[in-house]
Chains A and B, each alone.
Chain A
Amino acid sequence: MSFAVSSAGHVSARYLRAFARQPYYLAVTLVQPVIWLLLFGHVFERVVQLPGFSTASYIGFLAPGIVVMTALFSNGWSGMAYVTDIDRGVLDRFLVAPVRGGSLIGGQLAYAGLLTLLQSLIILGLGWISGASFAGAGPGILACLLATLLLGTAFASYSNALALLLRKQETLIAMVNFLVLPLTFLSVTFMPSALLPGWIRTLSAYNPVDWAVQVSRQCLSGTADWGYVSLHLALLALLAAACAYLSTRAFGAYRRAI
């Protein structure tokens, strides 16, 4: 057990060192969310005057959605590192060592989670500077981070598993794009539930992106329905655990294919 944990830690450290050598990568991952939050947020700022919005600042409304969307994209690319490792023969080297697949995945997810936390805090900070107020304060921010982290973990696992199964960057990019934007639009990211068309509202109830945005927005604005929040945090945790487990199983498929 202790070997499983310590080796996972060393795997995380490997990603962290690479990140520390290219910290500007963080800025690159923040270009898109800043455009969404600041440009999109300002262009549509008067949308909050529609009946159905219960907030005065569209940027404040948008911020949790952009936090979640950024986590989706960022974690979606986590499989790219696996494809590189596969091409380089690094993964094969790890797979003939005694280290477990669970430690390789766990270490990667821990790193991806840390990156997600960092990005989320920066986006929330930008939102706050731009006039959003987070009445939910500390606990609200923690709940938002937790929901985002869990969804990000699920999505990073999905990406890692695809990387191991498909072993091609192009296919991975297509599969990630195939999910991220549709899932984002089939949720309350840009519009409150009351203003969504009925069929989207129905679908969104089954959409983990919607769960994460709802939880984050409710908790950040200090209007949490704790029954809803705890149920959906639990669902997100289950989803993350299931995806993480399945991604370790993808190593088996990889071994059979090579």
Chain B
Amino acid sequence: MTNATVTAGAATLGPGLAIEAVGLTKTYPGGVRALRGLSLQFPLGSIFALLGPNGAGKSTAVKVLTTLSRPDSGGARVAGYDILSEAEAVRRAIGVVSQKPAGDLDATGWENLMLQGHLYGLAGAELKRRAEQLVEVLSLGEVVNRIVKTYSGGTQRKLDIAIGLVNRPRVLFLDEPTTGLDPDARAEMWETISRLAREGLGVLLTTHYLEEADQLSDRLAIVDHGEIVAEGTADELKHELRGDSVSLQLTDEPPPDSVEAALAAIDGLLNDRSYEAGWLRARVDNGPTALPALLAALDGAGVRVSSASVARPSLDDVYLSHTGHAYNALQEN
């Protein structure tokens, strides 16, 4: 890995908000309400993830915030500029990596980088230096003079990121940057994105991978049907669920009455408990210490346990509690 930084030479990145959006709405011709009052904000130098399934409104949010399309109402400032009245300044301050690989397939990687620079008014030795730097940072040296058509999916995505960085943006939009990548390429992409944020860029990332939002973002928002239903750091969101989840399978499906009686002694220990078809599920503040007490109480009342598990809350649980549907079930639709 090289020492060259991707943002070197960019305008001084003072503290400030990368994006500040308030009440964005957008309805497509045909009546699809893609955004219903979406608001978010996050500072430069951090990664903000919009998490949600396909069709939740993430890409529409990116289109509106990048000035590609206009909101019906609401507004936003990106890198300090108004997306409606200062669209030109916004365009100069942002880089966009859209959902689909957007390199020109019939040109080489280098030609793509050059054209992108020209479209931002860059030229000559300055542009050449910038492109060389990006080729080095993103390890595109071996392929940059080949036609993009011959690139692997992961390499095309790296080129997309290089293209998105040519104009030294302060805010980078990454619309599902790792969709369709194999695990190695995804890990490499995560590493690249983290580095960009450390160097001061504001990164807005959309993803439908819970794990990606969890690992990569400083803050994340869950988008459902065009609005944000939960927002915070991944840890905050998980903590809101009031602790770890405990699942016990009870032998021979004892009747609910006897289970209730057995739990009476430790009533204060369990939150949100449910009992269904032999499965007892509950949330506890601290799983590892609560589990022995729980097992002892059940054992004392003659209720036998055939399996037990404790899990830290996952974003899947967060998603479930805020939207009322499990994330994975939704993905399969």
Contacts and interface: CB of A to CB of B under 8 A. Distances in A.
Interface of A: 3, 6-7, 10-11, 13-14, 17-18, 21, 88-90, 92-99, 255-258
B104 to A, nearest CB: 6
A89 B69 contact: no
A88 B70 contact: no
B146 interface: no
Given A14-B115, A17-B107, A89-B102, A97 B68 contact: no
A88 B63 CA distance: 15
Given A18-B106, A89-B102, A90-B104, A258 B69 contact: yes
B2 to A, nearest CB: 26
B134 to A, nearest CB: 15
Interface residues of B, number: 35
Contacts of A97: 91, 116, 119-120, 167
A174 B119 CA distance: 33
Nearest to B65: A96
Contact of A92 (B102, B114, B119): B102
A94 B119 contact: yes
A160 to B, nearest CB: 17
B325 interface: no
B158 to A, nearest CB: 15
B195 interface: no
A95 B104 CA distance: 14
A94 B105 CA distance: 15
B102 A96 contact: no
A11 B68 CA distance: 19
Interface string B62-102: 01001111100000000000000000100110101011111
A17 B105 CA distance: 12
A255 B119 contact: no
Contacts of B114: 10
Contacts of B91: 96-98
18 contacts: A3-B121, A6-B123, A7-B119, A7-B121, A10-B118, A14-B104, A14-B115, A17-B111, A18-B104, A88-B100, A88-B102, A89-B101, A92-B63, A96-B94, A97-B119, A98-B88, A98-B92, A255-B69
B29 interface: yes
Nearest to B111: A17
User: Chain B interface secondary structure, helix, strand, loop or mixed?
Assistant: loop
Contact of B120 (A14, A17, A98, A257): A98
A89 B63 CA distance: 12
A42 to B, nearest CB: 38
Contacts of A94: 119
A10 B112 CA distance: 11
Interface of B: 28-29, 63, 66-70, 88, 91-92, 94, 96, 98-107, 111, 114-116, 118-121, 123, 147, 163, 167
B25 to A, nearest CB: 15
A96 B118 contact: no
A212 B167 CA distance: 44
B318 to A, nearest CB: 31
Given A21-B106, A258-B63, A92 B98 contact: yes
B310 to A, nearest CB: 44
A7 B118 contact: yes
A157 B195 CA distance: 44
B70 A255 contact: yes
A7 B117 CA distance: 10
Contacts of A6: 118, 123
A88 B107 contact: no
A88 B156 CA distance: 12
Contacts of A21: 106, 147
A92 B92 CA distance: 15
B118 A18 contact: no
Nearest to A22: B106
Contacts of B118: 6-7, 10
Contact of B102 (A13, A17, A93, A99): A93
B203 to A, nearest CB: 16
